[in-house]
Structure 1
Amino acid sequence: MAGDQDWRRIGEQVRQARLSMGMSQQELADEVGLDRTMLVKIEAGNRRLDGLELAQLSRALKVSMEYLIEPRPTVLSRRAAVLSEETDTEAARSTERLEIALVEWLRNVQQLVGLGALRATPLLRYPSSVTSEPDARQAARWLRQQLGLGDEPIGSLMDICTCAGQWVLVTDLPGDGASLIDAEFAVAVVSTKGDPGRRRATAAHELGHLIIGDEYSSDLGVSTSRADREAAIDAFAAELLLPADALASRPAGQMPRNQLIGYAARYRTSWLLALRQAERAGAIDTATRKAWSHPRPTHAEFMEAVGWVPQPDLASVRVPPLYAQAVMDAWRANQITRARAIELMHGQITEADLPEEDDLEIAP
């Protein structure tokens, strides 16, 4: 039976989830059929909940019952930003919803590994200390070498993350992305709300938190400010997506604009990232980067440069292919229900996409 400390934690997680939804105590109380004073006591940890009330709260708050009951991962509990009535802003809500999705996603992956349907991939970690942006760019080159990418464009960033041991969920929640490492599990969530180049850069950024670490897992957090850490991880992401060496084939400062448009298309990066990497490689100078920043290339210019318009990454696929296969394997083995299988796929499939049980091949 849960102790007083557990009920206080559960109450706090109810409050955090409520604030992330932009709901008042009265609105949530009305939604679940409770008196507001009862909800006040629940959030304070002074009133216990039965199973039915927990189920009603989880539905209203769009979280699982497990999320309300289980402690959040330690790495999240150490982060400074805590959503409260005093810090309740749209940006804070978006951050909290992404972190809720991150925790739920972590538990999805852990469940499938626990069932034996999914094998945990060993985490790739850069073996050297990273304390600066040049160090971070070197870490990106190291990762490319480890995965046999050379300086070639990355096809699916989700596949690269999976190879590195990070499971990525693509979500329609607002914001950019979030990630965490919990023991041997590394997970990330990436929002679809940004433009395709930004979405891809966000995924590469969250992968950087795994490869080179952050304030909770490496020397990067000991000797630098948070802004410097994020700048180093951004440098990692840029170099991973479009290596400067790939742009350094022409005489310094003489790359034509349409050629750089071609690089942005083939490597599927944002135009601004391509400009920054071209300047870093010496392919263009600072004045040219500024002059070319606006307007951004049109579809017609992409067609002229490479004959096609780049297709967005991380758009239609919501979960990694290996994870999706694990969900289907667990369902076919009757380890999870049909409803749970659909839930675990996070919109990748619908009820109509699953075959009826009678259509399944039953092993003797």
Structure 2
Amino acid sequence: MDIGERVAQARADRGLTQAQLATAIGMDRTALAKIESGGRRVTAVELVAISRELQRRMEWFVDETPPALASYRGAQQGLAVQAIDSELDSLVRDAEFVVARSPDLVSRQPDPLPHPSTMEEAEALAVTARRLLGLTSAEPLLDFSRQAAKLGLLIFSVDLGEGADAGTVLLRRGGVALVNGYAHVGRRRLAAAHELGHYLVADEFSLDWRVAASEAQDIEARLDRFARALILPADDLRGRWTSWMGLPDETRRDAAVRAASHYGADMATLARRLMELGLVESGHSEEVRGARTKQADIIEKNLVVRDELAPVSVPQAYAQAVLKLYRSETVTADRALGLLRGSFDRPSLPDLLPAREDEIWEVTS
């Protein structure tokens, strides 16, 4: 795709006509039409104005699309969700840039694991994933982004409104996952777990529309099962659920509230997991699904309130790598802020040390 085609695509994504874009950047519409059709070159000044108006970084217009995304778009253009597709495209470019200059950022990447062909294999994959993360069967999986980064998967969260839950792209080293921060925390964590599954089985690209609602696609259903098993490990949940149900003066709803807080799960996911493990019947599953945690529960049961992957969030290891590039003056402040996706503002960046006199002399001599 050449620059003109990219301008046309970005303009269409923003919902602008040629006339509207041309007016906004002070260009004649016929000149813009020629640029988009390849009949006229675009100057650097014009491209800066176009990229600013269309809210795309300059390199988006001139760099090649990451291979995994290009392959996906060529095969499934009709399924693309523009917001998450565009954000993933930008994230992949930024992450490739940072990873290439920060060797320690992706220091570990597991060999690809087999796709689970049954629900039992999906459960086993979750056990393997917890082992790779260094978790015991009794530990809740908390701080998902930091844990996944240990395996080379960088998880970002951006509020994209209604649409796809998440997407994942493999990098040359590691991978990038984007979770739609529009969803509530339990669903964000479930989406992140599902994307970790895609990463572990080395799916080059995935775009997931609905987590826990994809029975028509066997692999997606099995990765949904993997995600639930990862967040709600079977043996530990069985033991704790029995214990919570045995507490005096507490109901099934109370046990559900405790479980959701302990494991960082939403009620719909918990209800389905309890059904899978035979811990509740269908009628009781609906009771769990409809349970809501109240402020009184938080105080009386001493619960922990989490807001993981709240938008905008970037992996801590990635942010540290970007700040290191900024301190070494490998990137400018503007570039660093762009790489950090709005999670920092300029005053939040570290102060740079002034150059020593001998360094200044070396540069100017």
TM range (shorter): 0.7 to 0.9
The equivalences for 1:1-364 within 5 A come to 7=2, 10-79=3-72, 80-82=75-77, 95-116=81-102, 118-151=104-137, 152-174=139-161, 175=163, 176-214=165-203, 227-249=217-239, 256-304=252-300, 306-315=301-310, 318-358=313-353
Instruction: Report the alpha carbon displacement of residue 265 of structure 1 after superposing the two structures with TM.
Output: 0.5
In the alignment, the residues of structure 2 paired with residue 48 and residue 38 of structure 1 have an alpha-carbon distance, to the nearest angstrom, of: 10
Matching residue of 1:221: none
- In structure 1, give the amino acid aligned to 2:140: P
Conservation of the 8 A alpha-carbon contact between 1:144 and 1:150: yes
**Cα 1:77–1:358 shift into 2, 3 Å:** closer
Q: Which amino acid aligns with 2:55?
A: K
The verdict on how the C-alpha distance between 1:316 and 1:34 changes in structure 2, with shifts beyond 3 A counting, is: closer
Q: Which runs of 5+ in 2 are unaligned?
A: 207-213, 247-251, 360-365
Q: Higher mean Cα deviation, 269-278 or 13-22? A: 13-22
Seq. identity, %? 31
Kept in 1, the 8 Å contact 2:112–2:201? The answer is: yes
Q: Is the 8 A contact 1:180 1:187 kept in 2?
A: yes
CA pair 40-236 structure 1, distance change in 2 beyond 3 A: farther
CA contact (8 A) 1:18 1:24 kept: yes
Using the TM superposition, give the Cα deviation of residue 65 of structure 1 relative to its aligned residue in structure 2, in angstroms.
Answer: 1.1
Structure 1 residue 350 displacement after superposition? 0.9
Deviation at 1:275, TM superposition (A): 0.8
Contact 2:198 2:223 in 1 (8 A): yes
- What's the CA shift for 1:199? 1.3
Q: Hey, what's the Cα distance between the residues in 2 that align with 1:50 and 1:14?
A: 13
Q: What's the CA shift for 1:238?
A: 1.2
Does the CA-based 8 Å contact 1:121-1:162 persist in structure 2? no
Q: Deviations 1:238-291 (Å, cap 9, x if unpaired)?
A: 111112222222669x77331222111111111110111111112111221023
Runs of 4+ in 1 over 4 A off after TM superposition: 358-364
Q: TM-score normalized by structure 2?
A: 0.83
* Contact 2:312–2:342 (Cα < 8 Å) also in 1: no
CA contact (8 A) 2:156 2:179 kept: yes
- Number of aligned residue pairs: give it: 341
Change (3 A) 1:328 1:213: closer
Instruction: State the AA in 1 paired with 2:23.
Output: D
Secondary structure of the 2:27 match is coil
Q: What's the CA shift for 1:351?
A: 0.9
Return the TM-score normalized by structure 1: 0.83
Distance 1:182 1:42 in 2: 32
Per-residue CA deviations over 1:89-118 (Å, capped at 9, x if unaligned) read xxx5xx222222222222222222333465
Amino acid at match of 1:143: A
On the 8 A contact 2:158/2:312 being kept in 1, the answer is no
Alpha-carbon RMSD across the aligned residues, in angstroms, is: 3.0
Letter in 2 for 1:247: L
CA displacement, residues 315-334 of structure 1 (integer Å, 9 cap, x when unaligned): 26722122111112111112
Q: Is residue 11–residue 17 contact of structure 2 (8 Å, CA) maintained in 1?
A: yes
- Aligned-partner residue type, residue 254 of structure 2: N
CA distance in 1, matches of 2:91, 2:135: 28
* Letter of the structure 2 residue corresponding to residue 158 of structure 1: S
Check 1:44–1:133 CA distance in 2 against 1; reply closer, same or farther (3 A cut): farther
Q: Contact between 2:18 and 2:32, CA under 8 Å: does it hold in 1?
A: yes
1:40: how far off? 3.1
Counterpart-to-counterpart distance in 2, 1:19 and 1:232: 36
